[in-house]
Structure 1
Amino acid sequence: MTAAQTNSSLAENIRALREHFDTVVLPMWMGRGFNNALGLPFESLDSSSGDPLPAVRYRAMACARQLYVFALAPGAAAAQHADRLFESLHRVFRDENGGWRYSVDAQAQPLDDTQDLYTHAFIVLACSAYFQRSRNAYARKLMLATAHAIEARFKTADSLYHAALSPDFSQPLKPPAQNPMMHLTEAYLAAAQVAEPALFAQHLRALAQGISQSFVHAPTQCVAEALQGTPANRLEPGHQFEWLSLVHGAAQVFEGLDLAESLPRAVQWSREHGVDAAGVIASLDEAGVVIDDTRRIWAQTEYLRVLAVTGDLSALLAALVDFRAHFLHASGWHECLDASGAVTRSDMPSTSPYHLATCLDALQNVVS
């Protein structure tokens, strides 16, 4: 296939993915996926019927991810939906300790008041995106207040961050973990677009150095899920792809740091050991042995994203064609497949459109 043919086919496949997102995915979360009485997105929909699954809880992180998606989506209806999500986010989940409760129950009453870094990171990200869309000054205020709480409460002496703290912030409940800090990186990059870029760049560089020192597995250069030395540690190819996309998009922030040097090698190793004809494998051990052979939709979108940002267009086209054929269906998507392509989860979580949105943003830059 010539370069022109590749570009033409890529443009058509990206257009089709965008159409599916705009005409199928977004409407479902403004319709049956949204609990109008509570003003909150349901946690999950049935993949076949599109009906909401019985509500057990609502998480702040899930609400924030939906806010991020609709803050980016075009049109007046999306903007109005973002307004409602933002109102519900701070009304339902903001707590009296200056943090964010992890979840509420099916009646929107407090359920889990743990101070969770992953949740706080998505609050920062969502408020940044919503402020850019709406210019709502309160969103910027909440973004900055949440970032301040993260730095004052979660940060450790070695530039890492506890994954979870007690409701009053006084006791660590979970040690530093890769995934919350990756999303904190994403959040701070977004926050720097609307406030205090030099300060957020300082935080980001310190965090990147902490990741390199404590999480990078030397033989593979991959960012492990837990601190180096943790028994039964895991390497997730999808997270290597996600890290590189973030760092690649802010090269000036991470210039000269070890993480910027190691991530391309981590991605190469992950492509060699963690991607096959069925897609991206969920996780491997540090020797490259498969731990979890599930093919999760988010890992596939992160693979597409990294291929887009690094310009590997022939591999991107092949992966995108496979993704559309295996993970999308007329009324939504398949969350998880096994190595043979069989569906292993029958739900569509409210958190997954966020991954589709970030993927589409990167893909759009390929053909713009």
Structure 2
Amino acid sequence: MNQLNCTSVRIDELNQHISSVILPVWSTRGFNDALGLPYDRISAPGQPILPTTRYRAMACVRQLYVFSVAGWHNHADRLFESLRTRFLDTTYGGWNYSIDAQGAPKETKKDLYTHAFIVFGCAEYFRHRGTRDALDLLESTLHVIETRFTTHTGLYNAVLSRDFRTVIDGPRQNPIMHLSEAYLSACDARHDTWFFDTLRSIAEQIITKFVHRPTGCITELPIGYSPLRIEPGHQFEWFYLTANKPDIFRHSDLSTWLNSAYMFSLRYGVSPYTGGVCTALNEYGHIIDSNERLWAQTEFCRALTISKTPNFVCKIYNSHISIKIQLSRFKKRFLRDYGWVESITKDSAIVRIDMPSTTPYHIVTMYSALITAYQKI
């Protein structure tokens, strides 16, 4: 069997795992039917049942994306209805971070991460379902982001108080990256050139405030904060998002920096033996968190789907990083017949065994990237 066919088999196996394991779990025992919401996390078989203390808007909207892409429209419709009826802050606007086990507001801070995912989820729900209400919700959330979270430098604060008046956390790369992802999806849904201009502006601000010049990597906090932390998974994620939209980012220097970030992360953050992506490095390439989280593996696989990726890969790694091999490793090390393992050590010992409701988003975005890449071949 040639490599293309072997890879196709691995992709089909991933699809089968999503459709026969992940979706059924999160529409049954992972779902509170009374509230119409996914539990924040569920235990693996044989483990104690986890207490329910909250439901997050971000978890709801990530699952909205997952079930929309899968074509489970009835479940997606329920998630969308729960999202807009349970998490909106009717006093100050925007979205509450979470509600408690009874459905009352719990954490009422306003965070960019959640608002970005509302835009992303609504755009994807509209794309797959055609529900006009999703576009309306996208528009209103977009207005909140652009009028409340923006800074005078052109970036976005990460966390604000409930009334938006107090900055709790300033700009951080991860919420801004997911805002970029959300705006890319919204651009596909709305075909508005405003998103092109805004995304290019974000790219320039990321270069100015977050790119570590010696490595090209995007740091978690703005340059100047210590200690400096580089997460390989986020470098691969940025690489994929920008390389996948050359019409927007082709002329941005961010693409050049991310080529360097990709190589740095591959050289120091990916095991040549297992293909495992570690959690974090410092600026010298020393591993400061060796645990391997599932989401980082999916971002590496997404990066590998970019057709030009091999141009940046040293020959020493070529035999270790094919998509076929990475998918086989991912299946063996992270997937289980009941779902998945969230985090492991470099030696594959389990670090975190419970399953967060936010993780299927990572698995499905990886699958979608694989399907898109192989449709082009």
TM normalised by structure 2 equals: 0.93
Unmatched runs of 5 consecutive residues or more in structure 2: 311-317
Shift of 1:135: 1.7
Residue number among 173, 180, 184 corresponding to 2:175 in the alignment:
180
Q: How does 1:235-250 map to 2 (within 5 A)?
A: 235-250=230-245
- Equivalent residue number for residue 160 of structure 1: 155
Residue number among 94, 98, 107 corresponding to 2:88 in the alignment:
94
Shift of 1:194: 1.6
Matched, 1:85 2:79: yes
Q: How does 1:1-368 map to 2 (within 5 A)?
A: 5-49=2-46, 53-74=50-71, 78-96=72-90, 97-276=92-271, 277-278=273-274, 279-310=276-307, 312=310, 315-368=322-375
Shift of 1:197: 2.0
Going from structure 1 to structure 2, the CA distance change for 1:134 and 1:51 (only over 3 Å counts) comes to farther
Q: CA RMSD in A?
A: 1.4
Paired letter, 2:367:
L
- Residues 32 and 52, structure 1, Cα contact 8 Å, conserved in 2: no
Paired letter, 2:267:
E
| C-alpha distance in structure 2 between counterparts of 1:255 and 1:159, whole Å | 21
Query: After the TM superposition, which segments of 4 or more aligned residues of structure 1 sit over 4 Å from their partners?
Result: 49-52, 311-314
Q: How many residues align?
A: 362
Unmatched runs of 5 consecutive residues or more in structure 1: none
Shift of 1:51: 8.3
Of 296-305 and 311-320, deviating more is 311-320
| C-alpha distance in structure 1 between counterparts of 2:297 and 2:217, whole Å | 18
Shift of 1:134: 2.0
Deviations 1:298-352 (A, max 9, x none): 0001111111123659621221111111111111111000011101111010000
Shift of 1:136: 1.5
Shift of 1:46: 1.1
| C-alpha distance in structure 2 between counterparts of 1:176 and 1:275, whole Å | 27
Q: Aligned with 1:110: secondary structure? A: coil
| C-alpha distance in structure 2 between counterparts of 1:24 and 1:131, whole Å | 25
- Equivalent residue number for residue 314 of structure 2: none
Going from structure 1 to structure 2, the CA distance change for 1:83 and 1:50 (only over 3 Å counts) comes to farther
Q: Aligned with 1:280: secondary structure? A: coil
Q: Aligned with 2:106: secondary structure? A: strand
Q: Aligned with 1:291: secondary structure? A: strand
Q: Aligned with 1:323: secondary structure? A: helix
Q: Aligned with 2:55: secondary structure? A: strand
Deviations 1:126-150 (A, max 9, x none): 0111111222211101101111111
